[in-house]
Structure 1
């Protein structure tokens, strides 16, 4: 009986050996704030480095915010995300590249964030730099793009 149980456990371990388990995925918290270190209407942190499988949790520290992906700055094949007003939004990143995030009500005030997943290509970075954004959002996004490595 003990021998069979040991064999089953060993086989289960071998079967799971090639499986990527989500235990290594991280939860990363980003706060949506009216005022932060970078001024008014910010995500903190605004620049996040993540790995495929990580979950980015956008938490409404202050009211009147949402978080959603920018259709123009999303890796090919990645699932878009649109959070509700005053609600936590969760983006599980699955593809390497750059994910642009905005708070729709405060987008023109520069409330944007950038998620770097894995190592983006030079083409990813060039494409992100070429995207037309409102002036305040463009200023913040340009600063974040200098951190991409």
Structure 2
């Protein structure tokens, strides 16, 4: 009888874990702005530390912006995304790694963001991707600070 109770208890715990675990996912908000703390044409914040299953909500505070993944800056198996201009957009990130995001109209002006989901398994490859204009320096700064940001967890 004890083995049956133990098995039932474990099964109940597993079911509870499966139904409760999705509720543990977090939602992060990234604002798309014409002007922010770091200058003009920015995502704020420009870095987010997330976990698999977390949702990123891009909020169109100012018109004329979108959020699009950058080729070569996605973890293996992750789906690329591209929001409509001037529209809020949410995406749930399930694959571990770093995700490079740009505002398509303002990419060369440095309007980019970096999202680290779990372990940065594709970090080295993503850091080697070439970028136009101010995006190049902005990503260099974000990748330089990445180890410190990841250690802060």
When normalised by structure 1's length, the TM-score is: 0.86
Q: Could you tell me how far 1:70 is from its partner in structure 2?
A: 1.1
* Residue 5 of structure 2: aligned partner: none
Q: Could you tell me how far 1:109 is from its partner in structure 2?
A: 0.8
Q: Could you tell me how far 1:128 is from its partner in structure 2?
A: 1.8
The residue matched to 1:127 in structure 2 has which SS?
A: helix
Q: Which runs of 5+ in 1 are unaligned?
A: 1-8
Q: Distance in 1 between matches of 2:91 and 2:13?
A: 31
* Residue 144 of structure 2: aligned partner: 146
| 1:108 and 2:120 matched | no
Q: Could you tell me how far 1:147 is from its partner in structure 2?
A: 2.4
The residue matched to 2:138 in structure 1 has which SS?
A: helix
The residue matched to 2:113 in structure 1 has which SS?
A: strand
Q: Could you tell me how far 1:15 is from its partner in structure 2?
A: 4.5
Q: Could you tell me how far 1:133 is from its partner in structure 2?
A: 0.3
* Residue 47 of structure 1: aligned partner: 47
Q: Is the 8 A contact 2:72 2:125 kept in 1?
A: no
1:118-141 deviations in Å (ceiling 9; x for gaps): 1214xx222122111002001111
1:51-84 deviations in Å (ceiling 9; x for gaps): 0000000000101000111122000001111100
The residue matched to 1:146 in structure 2 has which SS?
A: helix
* Residue 132 of structure 2: aligned partner: 134
Q: Could you tell me how far 1:10 is from its partner in structure 2?
A: 6.4
Q: Distance in 2 between matches of 1:108 and 1:138?
A: 8
Q: Distance in 2 between matches of 1:95 and 1:128?
A: 14
Q: Which runs of 5+ in 2 are unaligned?
A: 1-7, 148-153
Q: Could you tell me how far 1:17 is from its partner in structure 2?
A: 4.2
CA RMSD of aligned residues (A): 1.9
The residue matched to 2:145 in structure 1 has which SS?
A: coil
Question: Which structure has greater helix proportion?
Answer: 2
When normalised by structure 2's length, the TM-score is: 0.84
